């Protein structure tokens, strides 16, 4: 995580806060961000080395589930949400690579968490210039969808009632920038029915193999495989 990447993330978390107080200017934010940049890089790498899978976030940073920062004056409540869980794979070999077999932060949740902490540290030092309340939601089990459901059922949104919730996800944008686009893909269930000669055997096996080949567990290895995952699937016979 570089300083420019952290400040881009910080910009997302603070863009609505500027409406809460005109005193929160870019120069003040950049100055404090530069002072804590090394600390946040170290934190991100500490999180990356011993990752926890969804529902198993039991390490020190798992205590950061729900923070509330009150400004000096009255104002709206906004929230920043960061996910914390890892996925069951490891592809990289860096000095701070995962030390847990079968688990790694390949989706950037370690970065999301470090950015959330950074935003909290910056705004805490600017508390006297802040009007309103900022809520920081560090969500476990994002990959399975269970963490958000559990937090909502626990009533965290009702207790703090944020007017807006901001979040980010790592992408292929230029370093130090962020973009607003369609939401990230979620988990859906679907059923496919095949009819016709061979549907119960050859066609079904071939379709299962195609779907398995496009699974997020087996990552695309070529541009062609990636395009297959983005394009439509058309086959003969009846399908639903």
> What's the pLDDT at 195?
75
**Packed helices 3-14 and 109-125: angle between N→C axes, nearest 10 degrees:** 70
- Of 3.40.50.970, 3.40.630.10, 3.40.50.11540, 3.30.565.10, the CATH number of 3-166 is 3.40.630.10
What digits encode the pLDDT tens for the residues 177-199?
Answer: 777 765 555 555 667 777 777 67
How many of the other CB atoms lie within 10 Å of CB of 197?
A: 10
What digits encode the pLDDT tens for the residues 95-139?
Answer: 778 888 888 887 888 889 899 999 999 999 999 988 999 999 998
For residues 130 and 14, the answer to whether their CB atoms sit within 8 Å is no
With H, G, I as helix, E, B as strand and everything else as coil, classify residue 119: helix
Buried b (16+ CB within 10 A) or exposed e, 144-166: eeebbeebeeeebeeeeebeeeb
pLDDT classification of 239: cutoffs 50, 70, 90: very low
For residues 139 and 151, the answer to whether their CB atoms sit within 8 Å is yes
Q: Is 84 left (phi over 0), alpha (psi -120 to 50) or beta?
A: alpha
With H, G, I as helix, E, B as strand and everything else as coil, classify residue 12: helix
Give start-end residues of each CATH 3.40.630.10 domain in the chain: 3-166
Angle at 218 between CA 142 and CA 172, to 5 degrees: 65
Sheet containing 131-139: order of strands: 66-70, 131-139, 73-83, 164-166
Quote the CA–CA distance of 9 and 44 in Å, as a whole number: 14
For residues 83 and 139, the answer to whether their CB atoms sit within 8 Å is yes
pLDDT at 232 over 70: no
Query: End-to-end distance of the chain based on CA atoms, in angstroms?
Result: 44
> What's the pLDDT at 70?
94
Percent of the chain with pLDDT over 70: 68
Handedness of CA 98, 102, 105, 110 (dihedral sign): negative
Q: Which two tokens stand for residue 141?
A: 């089990």
């Amino acid at each position: 995580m570089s300083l420019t990447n952290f400040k881009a993330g910080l910009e997302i978390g603070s863009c609505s806060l500027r409406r809460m107080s005109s005193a929160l200017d870019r120069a003040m934010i950049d100055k404090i961000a530069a002072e804590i940049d090394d600390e946040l890089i170290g934190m991100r790498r500490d999180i990356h080395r011993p990752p926890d899978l969804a529902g198993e976030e039991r390490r020190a940073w798992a205590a950061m589930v729900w923070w509330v920062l009150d400004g000096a004056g009255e104002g709206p409540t906004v929230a920043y949400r960061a996910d914390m869980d890892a996925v069951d794979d490891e592809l990289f070999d860096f000095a701070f690579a995962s030390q847990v077999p079968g688990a790694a932060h390949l989706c950037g949740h370690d970065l999301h968490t470090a950015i959330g902490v950074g935003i909290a540290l910056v705004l805490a030092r600017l508390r006297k210039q802040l009007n309103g309340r900022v809520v920081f939601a560090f969500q476990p089990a994002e990959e399975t969808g269970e963490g958000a459901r559990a937090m909502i059922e626990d009533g965290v949104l009702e207790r703090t009632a944020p007017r807006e919730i901001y979040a980010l996800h790592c992408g292929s944008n230029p370093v130090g920038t962020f973009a607003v686009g369609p939401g990230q893909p979620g988990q859906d269930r679907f059923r496919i029915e095949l009819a016709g000669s061979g549907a119960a055997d050859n066609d079904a096996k071939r379709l299962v193999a195609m779907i398995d080949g496009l699974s997020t567990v087996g990552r695309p290895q070529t541009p062609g495989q990636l395009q297959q995952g983005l394009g439509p699937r058309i086959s003969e016979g009846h399908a639903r």
